[in-house]
Each structure stands twice: as C-alpha cells, then as structure tokens.
A and B are shown apart, each in its own frame.
Chain A
Amino acid sequence: MRAEAREHAIAARPPLSIGEVLDRQGVLAYVLLFPGLLILTVFIAYPFVTSLWLAVTDQSVSTSGARFIGLENFIGELGSQIFQQTVRNTLVYTAVTVVFKLVLGIALAVLMNQSFRLKNLARAALLLPWIVPTALSAIAWLWLFDATFSVFNWLLVHSGLTTRGINWLGEGGWAMTAIIIANVWRGTPFFAITILAGLQTVDRELLEAASVDGASTWQRFWRITLPLVRPVLLIVLLFSTIWTISDFQLVYVLTRGGPANSTHLLGTLAYDVAVRAGQLSEGAAISLYMFPVLIVCVVALLLYLRRSSTT
C-alpha cells in the first residue's frame, strides 16, 4: 500500500525544468566543460591524432590511399642532411632567443617597475611588438633586412662603420642572426610584462629591511627579488621555449628557411615537405620530432604548477 502511494507520488511529480537540471553539480560541470572539450577535440586532438596516423603511413598528395609503414618516415628523416641541419637550427634558434629574451625581459621589467613619468604609457608601448600580428611585423623586418634597401645597411655604410652592407638574409650565419633578432624583439615584451607582474607582488618591506641591513642593490635583486619571482620566470621560460621551438611565421616570411636551408626550423621544413613537396606523411613525421621536447616542457610545467598549488 505504501509502495503504491510512493509510485503515485513519483508519477504525479512534474518533470524537472532546465534550471533544476542545471542546478545539479554533476550535470552543470559537464555542460560547462562541453564547449572546451569540443574545441579541444576538434582543433587539437583530431589534428594531432591525424598527424600521428599520417606519420606512420606513406600518404602523399599524389596518392588517394595510405599504406601503414611504421616508423619508416621517422628513420628516413634521420638520414637527411636537410633534416639534421634543421634540428641544429631549431636548437640554436630556441636556445639563443630564449636566453636573450629572458635577460632583456628581466632588465625591462626592473626598469618598468621604477616610478617615472608616463610610466603607464611606456608599459603599454612595451607590449606593441607582442600585439602586432607576427606576419605583419615580419614584413617590416623583411624590409629592414632587405638585401638592397636595408635601413641597417644604410646606417652602417653612411655612418662609415662599414664600406658595404651586411648580407642579412643571404648568408647563413647572418640570416640566423636576423631571425633571432626579430624573434627577440617580438618575444621580449611577453617576458617583461609577465616578470613585471611578478615583481609587483614582491613585498617592498622586505627590500627596505634588506636595505637597512646594508644590502646593496645587486644583493637585494639577487637574494630577494629573483628568488621571489622565480616561479614566474620558470613558467615564462617554459612557455617561450614551447612557442619558439614551434615557430613558423617569422622564419617563413623572412627567409623561407633559406639560404640553402640554413634557417629552416622543424615547423617550416615540415610545411615545405608536406605542402609544397606533397609528402604529407614525411611532413607529419618531421613536425612530430618536436613532440618529445615539447612534452618534456609541458610535463615540467604541469609538475611545477601542481607542486606550487599544493604548497
């Protein structure tokens, strides 16, 4: 009899409204997660899995089907001198630019942390290289480094420093220098602004106490400021390493990987091989060579973030 009454009560209960359904935490969590998961699946997971599949096949633009060939593409690339040179270029480019961006970023951040007139305007202007679309700023650099019309060369020659201009983009070493300069110019504001945010969290009383105790400016920076902004530095370093190692636009606009492949990075070579030469599977394999380095960076970043959140 009681069971019958309960069944009647359940049957009589009106259906839940959308608001009531969303009030349930379990449902709401999935609803909120859905757009993010959809974007991740469509724009990141699907292309990534596709590139994994492509890399172990012989798919090219000229063929309709694909045959599984295991690690042949990866092994084949190791024998290519262009690929070997590209790996060296990528490592040099990443290492040099990240070090320069770090040093210049810290210097700029310390400078911007001082009080001076038009401080806010200067801080906003600092971000300009980072805000301007890379392809646009790269075209500006292309003109600055142009073989015939370079402003730098005009200055060098007309100031009497050299008798003829530097072959910025036409000689391997100078071309690498040119793309490093452009990358450092573009990436330094990111370091500076992020470190500046970190610097502003440093307690001024600590610095004043150290000053009273007789610590010099350098000692205050080295012993107090730097250890306190270290978490920010690490995160910025890891992000910058990831972005620099997978750089494409800047190099592609400035040199297209030339002269004679001396500035090819893994991203530009993968594009040339996959899209221009039509070897989609080879291109995918080349781009996946970035993956181990990137995964180390990402794991380090995640571990660090987890540790800092638990402490």
Chain B
Amino acid sequence: MEAREIATNRLSRRRFLYGAAALAAAACAPAASPSPSASGPVVLKGTKVQLLHWTSFVPDEDKWFKETLVNDWAKPNGVDLTVELVSANEAQPKIVAALQAGGGPDVMLLQWTWSHLYADKLADVSDIAEKVGSDGGGFYDAMKQNAQVQGTWRAVPFGMLGNAIHYRDSLLKDAGATKFPETWSELTKVGADVKAKSKLFLGQAIGHSFGDPPTFVQPFLWSYGGSETDESGKKLAVNSAATKDALVAFKDLFSKAADPQVLSWDDSANNRSYAAKQIWATLNGASIYLTAVKDAPDLAKDTKLALLPSGPKGQFLLAVPFQYAVPKYVKDPGPARELISYIMAPKNYGSFMKAGKGYTLAPYKKGEGDLWPSTDATFDPFRKIGTLTKWYGYPAPPSTAAAESGSKYILVDMFAKVAQGDTPESAMSWAEGELKRVYKL
C-alpha cells in the first residue's frame, strides 16, 4: 500500500513536469513561430484592427484608406477597421507613446529608419515582407535597408514619397536657360539669373520638418562625397574636406539663389508659396504638381519636374520611406498581418496608386512598370526615384544612431547654420560634436 502510494506520487510529479513542459512549450509557440498564419487560417470576422496612418498631402490617398479599404477589405471580412490619420510630424509622438505604454494601434506606419529605432518592440514580419517583395518584383534596396534590421524584417515597406524639383519653365527660359541645370554649380548660376530677372527665389525648406529639409541636404552632402560616418558606421566622417566642399557650395547656392525665410519653413510652406507664385522652384513631393493640375491649370502647365542635380561625386536622392509595423504588444497579430498583406498585394496597391495619382510611390519595382498610374509625361522623373534613393546614415547601413541623428535634424541644422552665416568649419565641428554623442564614438 505504502509502495503504491509512493509510485502514485512519483507518477503525479512526473505528470506535473510533463504538464508544465507542455504549457511552457505552448506559451513559447507564438514567439517561436514568426507567422501565426502558418499555423492555420486567420479568423477575421468580429475582430478589430486599428491602423495608424499619416495624413497625406494628397487627400485622395486618405480617402482610399477611409473608404476603399474599409469597403473592399474590412466590411466583407467582418473586421471593425479604424483608420487613424495623423500629420507626418505628429506621428512619432503617437508611436513612441504606444510602444512605451504597450498598447495602441495594431498596425503603425513608420517613417525613415524608425524600424531600426524601435526594432526591439516590433514583431518579426519577415514572411509577409518576403512575399510582398517577391510578388512586387523585388523591393528597392533602400526600402529593404530601412525595414530590415540585422536580417529580420521588423516592418514591411509601404512606399515612398519621391521628391523632385518643381520649377516654372517659363521663368527658367526667361532667364536664358534652355533646360533645368544638371549640376549644383549650374543651378547656382541659373537660380541667381532667375532671381535677378523674376525676383522669385529657389524656395527650399531648411527647418525641422520631416520631408523636404532632409531630402535636400543629405543628397547634397552625399553628392560632394560627404557623410555622417564612413561605410562601417563606426567612424565619424562629417568633419571632412568633402563636407566642407558641400557646405561652401551650399552657401554659394543659398546666398545667390535662395532666401533666408526658408529657414523657418516646414513641409507645407513651400507648397503654399509655390501655389501663390512667390517662388520659382522648390523640392517637393508630387503634391504641388497634382494640386496645381486640379486647382491651377495655368500653373500646372508651366510646371516641370526634375530630379536633384549632381555634385562632383554623382547624383543622389533621398525619398521619404514608409513601412508598416506590427508592435509586439498586439496580442492577436493575425488580422493586422492580413491587413498589411492585403494593402501591399500589387493589385490592391495599384488601386491605391491610381487613387493618389502616384504621389506615394511603390516600394517595389512593379510600381514603376505595370502599376505606374500616370500617363502624364511630366511625371516621368518619379519613375527613377526608387533606384536612386538612399537612406539615413548612407553609406553605412541604417542604424539606431543614424535614425536618432535624423530625428534630431543634425545635418539639417549644420546646413542651416551655414545659411545663417556660420563658417563651414564651425558648422562641421558643431555637427561632429553632436554626432559623437549620438553615435557614442
């Protein structure tokens, strides 16, 4: 009797251990498996999904999310989809608050290299990203760099805002030029001529705003061979002869062709000024042109688009990239993942591009081919942006430090200081001091 009791006890202890092991395995299973969908079909009916998106400068894009997406995906699948739109400059505070609090949107639209900044708190979405990339003819290199952190996709590339210089062709020709300048030094000369003739200036924002300032100054720096760090990202390179050349050239361009008021501009100020015919050229997403086509046909007719000029080291671009991320705090990521897969499928993405008339460019190569939404030849320069664009921190791979430096606008401020009258040496030295703290070098 006693022996049997002991045997029963041993058995129950063993059973307990088995049970505990099974429970632990079950608890670990979702973490071990990157794809809940792999374990079976996702149940969508009756679920709620909150999507945090940016408010586009082209309202038809917002409409696509608020109406088409809701009608074509959410309603048929029985999903209660909430699309929350916030301005691009206000997205980051919302995202940080949600990640810190461990609750909020199920899908969030990240900008730039934020996937690297928040990598620890974002779920692995490699399976979705790989499929989307493959279906879309392959992601552009910059899109992959922005979303992939140490080999793991922490976000799925959504698209990019390509920037091109919008200029008034008639004013350019009045100043004696036959075509838009192909180098920065030519632009300085032509810009000065147009300013002298028309009294209008080259309106380039150099303030703390998410789009236009960084997409101008970073390619400008790269085109003269300058950069924040070397290719390894382990050694600062900003205080260099190449950066000095860039800053000297920028000072020349700024003083001859621009105007100091641009130092206070955000991303919408140049749109307003161009529409009010206060400037003759500006770097911007296609929203200026698309708005003019709709509201000011005479201005649209006179507007042409050109990619940024080249420097001694070539032509560089920096499009504003967006990515979809699913935070780790989302308990049932299945519907969120399904939503991303749906939006990014080429057929649906084509419908979105058509609605936005190509303002947001696809992150994959089909976007410049089969899905290209415009028959307007003026728009053609945008087709090349995907292949030419780089990323924050280039030529090093994207990193947390590069993302932080971008969020602190250190390079933008270095250029702004020169525009305000600082010497290139002093501005470079200032930037180096701040970057040392960011890169902890």
Which residue of chain B lies nearest to A178 when distances are taken between CB atoms in the complex?
A: B264
Pick the most buried of A64, A170, A175, A257: most chain B CB atoms within 10 A of its CB: A170
Residues of A within 8 A of B209 (CB): 256
A99-118 near B? 1/0 per residue, CB < 8 Å: 00000000000000000000
Residues of B within 8 A of A277 (CB): 404, 407-408, 438
List 12 additional contacts besides A167-B264, A278-B96, A280-B100; criterion CB under 8 Å.
A147-B273, A148-B273, A149-B272, A169-B263, A170-B260, A170-B262, A256-B209, A257-B208, A258-B264, A273-B408, A277-B408, A278-B403
Q: Could you give 23 example pairs across A and B, Cβ below 8 Å?
A: A61-B99, A61-B100, A62-B117, A64-B121, A79-B433, A79-B437, A80-B437, A81-B433, A146-B269, A147-B273, A148-B261, A149-B272, A167-B261, A168-B264, A169-B263, A170-B263, A171-B263, A256-B208, A256-B266, A260-B263, A272-B208, A277-B404, A278-B403
Which residue of chain B lies nearest to A145 when distances are taken between CB atoms in the complex?
A: B264
- Shortest A218–chain B CB gap in Å is 43
A261 within 8 Å of B by Cβ? yes
- Decide if A171 touches B420 in the complex (CB within 8 Å): yes
| Given A147-B265, A275-B96, CB of A260 within 8 Å of CB of B417 | yes
- Decide if B263 touches A258 in the complex (CB within 8 Å): yes
Q: Contact partner of A81 among B260, B403, B430, CB < 8 A?
A: B430
- Shortest B439–chain A CB gap in Å is 13
- Decide if A148 touches B278 in the complex (CB within 8 Å): yes
- Shortest B148–chain A CB gap in Å is 16
- Decide if A170 touches B264 in the complex (CB within 8 Å): yes
Which residue of chain A lies nearest to B427 when distances are taken between CB atoms in the complex?
A: A260
- Decide if B420 touches A147 in the complex (CB within 8 Å): no
B417-435 near A? 1/0 per residue, CB < 8 Å: 1001000000000100110
- Inter-chain CA distance A261–B264, complex, in Å, is 11
Residues of A within 8 A of B100 (CB): 61, 280
Residues of B within 8 A of A261 (CB): 413
B111-126 near A? 1/0 per residue, CB < 8 Å: 0000011111100000
B210-238 near A? 1/0 per residue, CB < 8 Å: 00000000000000000000000000000
- Shortest B227–chain A CB gap in Å is 19
B41 within 8 Å of A by Cβ? no
A70-86 near B? 1/0 per residue, CB < 8 Å: 00000010011110000
- Decide if B413 touches A148 in the complex (CB within 8 Å): no
- Decide if A278 touches B407 in the complex (CB within 8 Å): yes
What's the tally of chain B residues with a CB closer than 8 Å to chain A?
42
- Shortest A144–chain B CB gap in Å is 13
- Decide if B263 touches A167 in the complex (CB within 8 Å): yes
Q: Contact partner of A260 among B266, B269, B413, CB < 8 A?
A: B413
B107 within 8 Å of A by Cβ? no
- Shortest B301–chain A CB gap in Å is 23
| Given A61-B99, A167-B261, CB of A278 within 8 Å of CB of B433 | no
Query: Which residues of A are in contact with B by a Cβ distance under 8 Å?
Result: 61-64, 76, 79-82, 146-149, 167-172, 175, 255-261, 272-273, 275-280
- Shortest A28–chain B CB gap in Å is 37
| Given A79-B437, A278-B96, A278-B118, CB of A62 within 8 Å of CB of B264 | no
- Decide if B260 touches A171 in the complex (CB within 8 Å): yes
- Inter-chain CA distance A272–B408, complex, in Å, is 7
Q: Contact partner of B264 among A81, A255, A272, A280, CB < 8 A?
A: A255
- Inter-chain CA distance A82–B264, complex, in Å, is 18
8 Å CB interface, B241-277 against A: 260-266, 269, 272-273, 276
Q: Contact partner of A80 among B120, B265, B266, B433, CB < 8 A?
A: B433
Question: Chain B's interface: helix, strand, loop or mixed, by majority?
Answer: helix
Residues of A within 8 A of B400 (CB): 62
B156 within 8 Å of A by Cβ? no
Query: Which residues of B are in contact with A by a Cβ distance under 8 Å?
Result: 92-93, 96-97, 99-100, 116-121, 206-209, 260-266, 269, 272-273, 276, 278, 400, 403-404, 407-408, 413, 416-417, 420, 430, 433-434, 437-438
Question: Chain A's interface: helix, strand, loop or mixed, by majority?
Answer: loop
- Decide if A276 touches B408 in the complex (CB within 8 Å): yes
Which residue of chain B lies nearest to A171 when distances are taken between CB atoms in the complex?
A: B260
- Shortest B432–chain A CB gap in Å is 11
- Shortest A161–chain B CB gap in Å is 18
Residues of A within 8 A of B420 (CB): 171-172, 259-260
Which residue of chain A lies nearest to B95 when distances are taken between CB atoms in the complex?
A: A61
Q: Contact partner of A82 among B117, B120, B434, CB < 8 A?
A: B434
Residues of B within 8 A of A276 (CB): 92-93, 407-408
- Inter-chain CA distance A82–B408, complex, in Å, is 10
- Shortest A195–chain B CB gap in Å is 35
- Shortest A279–chain B CB gap in Å is 7
Pick the most buried of B93, B400, B404, B433: most chain A CB atoms within 10 A of its CB: B404
Which residue of chain A lies nearest to B433 when distances are taken between CB atoms in the complex?
A: A81
- Inter-chain CA distance A278–B113, complex, in Å, is 13
Residues of B within 8 A of A168 (CB): 264
- Decide if A148 touches B264 in the complex (CB within 8 Å): no
| Given A81-B430, A82-B434, CB of A259 within 8 Å of CB of B263 | yes
Q: Contact partner of B118 among A61, A149, A172, CB < 8 A?
A: A61
Which residue of chain B lies nearest to A259 when distances are taken between CB atoms in the complex?
A: B263
- Shortest B416–chain A CB gap in Å is 4
- Decide if B416 touches A260 in the complex (CB within 8 Å): yes
- Decide if B92 touches A62 in the complex (CB within 8 Å): no
- Decide if B120 touches A147 in the complex (CB within 8 Å): no
Residues of A within 8 A of B272 (CB): 148-149
- Decide if A175 touches B408 in the complex (CB within 8 Å): no
- Shortest B323–chain A CB gap in Å is 16
- Inter-chain CA distance A280–B121, complex, in Å, is 15
Residues of B within 8 A of A81 (CB): 430, 433-434
Across the A-B interface, the 3 shortest Cβ-Cβ residue pairs: A169-B264, A147-B261, A170-B264
